[in-house]
Structure 1
């Protein structure tokens, strides 16, 4: 069977093993069911996730003009400390920014390739950890808005990483860490204005299991623009990556805005 649609990040459900779902417009695929099957991915065209036009994707699934105009790509998304909605200050669309920024946010530790600090809206827990390929995570504090979570992340990343080594994550080259101990150690560096939101009583690690039959020994990243058609046996899914038997990996989220066909 052949399915076609514009790529958006896979939806997930954190069961005993993470379940992955891909919305292909007319079809809704449970990607776990495709593991150990040969699939063919083909690039069809571009489709901007904002304007819907067939324009080359610039970043985050948006064409260049939309990337610099849509509030869904404001600087505060990648840098939460730049959030200003709590001050009533508009970046691109104040109503949208209030809706996104003035919600409870979690500052967390996640361990995928290494222990890192991050920020996400509370409603995105544990989705954010799954998307990063974290096999364990813990909440540090719950702030009432994105700004306070952002300045906390800035303070803590002076003492712990804020990036994931995606190659190590995909080869499963990681070690378990005592996140409770790391959390306690980092608590002294939380900014004064955010200290009251520290989750002292909430010190339970969350563990995540990914549906991977075989990890790659050395990853080869698939670029569907340069290689418009690829076939391989799917051996697993981790973070937002499809992992194939020949060590090829395909980052679904990094290819948002590409219309593809999937033949099974």
Structure 2
């Protein structure tokens, strides 16, 4: 077997990176703690300190640690949950897919006339009647998401509290037999409102990330407006992008 010079070391530092990454994700090393020193890690893994430095560089680039002069490698809080930008996925589906330990608190479920600013955003009549469903999402004992949904009563006659607590999309698709088709979304960072501060665990955060969506059924009927307000430090929004190739200007 031919071994390219340096290939063995490359594989080794990647293996060490994956091992330490697993320990961080499993909270063997907790946020704010120091990793063992380079010397301790080189003894543990039976490799040179140079190999350890390469593994630590990968951890640094991946956002798992922060180097601090005179102290070493500090473990960062990486308990963030991925929210797909283009996908149309319910919170319950994300919770199940990412094994989130989460509790939903139903703050409000009532019929009302659509708020004026939402009517203007959707370009619908100001007399439109909607179900207003507000839910606080508690993760690890802290409310980090506030979901505010407005669903047209002309499409959805009623929403039982139990269904609102569990999953609106499960109720709409499996109980009502409607087919949800697509959504248009916008993402923006905004100053936290008084409502955010009252219902969410914001600590000293002054802003939240807001996702606004207008959601349509498969036949293009608009039936829902949703506003999801996220605490900055607990979520990241992800997307898979593929380059289509250079554009020809011929």
**What range is the shorter-chain TM-score in?**
under 0.3
Choose 1 or 2 for highest CA Rg: 2
**Which structure would you say has the larger RCO, counting Cα contacts within 8 Å and 6 or more residues apart?**
1
| TM-score of the two chains, using structure 1 as the length reference | 0.23
Q: TM-score, normalised by structure 2?
A: 0.24
